[in-house]
Amino acid sequence: MKRILSCLVLVLGFFVFSSYALAESDYLKPFKGLKGTIDIAGGTAHIPVMKEAAKRIMSYNPEIRISVTGGGSGVGVQKVGEGLVDIGNTGRALSAEEIKKYGLKSFPFAIDGVAVCVHPDNPVTSLTSKQIQEIFAGKIQNWKEVGGKDSPIHLYTRDEASGTRAVFWKKLLQKGVIAQKANIIPSNGAMKIAIYRDESAIGYLSIGHIDNTVKPLEIDGVYPSQENAKNGVYKVVRKLYMNTKGEPNKLVKTFIDYILSKEGAEIVQKYGFIPLSK
């Protein structure tokens, strides 16, 4: 009897796996027979999603090569605009000037939140918007002023080409000053490492990049979760975009459609973002 049950479990497992594999291949089928390369650069929040999609596509069709690099939203705009890459990713909407200058077309694919984070050992768990504005302006300089330890606050920010910085500066700082003493960090991944290595640090990064190496803070009593970003309770959010110079070619359009498919949405959600699938 046990042997029969074991066989039934194996058969059922095989059919479940086969059904999943079939569904997966259905979303990848548009890549069948295609050849070529896709070069992607720009916003660093996008990197995990782009790399996972690229891996699946290249495994399905080895005739396709996809490269993914960061650099920030400004780099994404410049590189795609100058024809150096096929897709330039941004964590902000394109400006009218950028669209006019380069003839770019945008494809939004996800909603992301930007969270203020500190070292996990920092006793502070919540700040008000005003406190955050004063911290980044250099007016509040010691953690004891906001309920923490008696230690100087070390500021970490992103460069002005960053889409993460743009939404943080606009929606949370209300376009206020960021102190010149703030350390400038090149990417979401590097920001996470910088905060983890400095118990006095405060910085900000994409919700999709948060793990147990950093501690996100409540802002005005609201925790920066994917769910709170989705239902509109958490306000420091932005869309993530793929941008092309004019209409994308067939291979690039197939990649964009894959990101916007049901399977693409699952990848987007896996990395902590809210999908904007078709």
The answer to the question of residue 1 being in a domain is: no
Domain count, the chain: 2
CB 128 within 8 A of CB 220: yes
Domain co-membership, 87 together with 187: no
The answer to the question of residue 82 being in a domain is: yes
Task: Give me the pLDDT at residue 208, please.
Answer: 87
The answer to the question of residue 255 being in a domain is: yes
The answer to the question of residue 143 being in a domain is: yes
Domain co-membership, 250 together with 182: no
CB 111 within 8 A of CB 240: yes
> Strand 64-71 to strand 183-185: parallel, antiparallel, or no bridges (unpaired)?
unpaired
For residues 114 and 23, the model is more confident at 114
The answer to the question of residue 173 being in a domain is: yes
For range 108-125, the mean pLDDT: 97
Domain co-membership, 120 together with 205: yes
The answer to the question of residue 5 being in a domain is: no
Q: What is the pLDDT of residues 60-72, one digit of tens each?
A: 999 999 999 999 9
Task: Give me the pLDDT at residue 242, please.
Answer: 98
Q: What is the pLDDT of residues 221-243, one digit of tens each?
A: 999 998 898 888 999 999 999 99
Task: Give me the pLDDT at residue 248, please.
Answer: 98
Q: What is the rounded CA–CA span in Å between residue 119 and residue 117?
A: 7
CB 261 within 8 A of CB 275: no
Residue 136 has pLDDT above 90, yes or no: yes
Task: Give me the pLDDT at residue 231, please.
Answer: 87
Question: How far from 161 is each of 72, 167, 232, CA to CA, in Å?
Answer: 6, 11, 26
Q: What is the pLDDT of residues 75-107, one digit of tens each?
A: 999 999 999 999 999 999 999 999 999 999 999
CATH number, domain containing residue 57: 3.40.190.10
Q: Is the dihedral of CA 226, 232, 234, 239 positive or negative?
A: positive
Domain co-membership, 197 together with 81: no
Domain that holds residue 55: 35-111+239-275
Domain co-membership, 60 together with 130: no
Residue 105: how many other CB atoms lie within 10 Å? 17
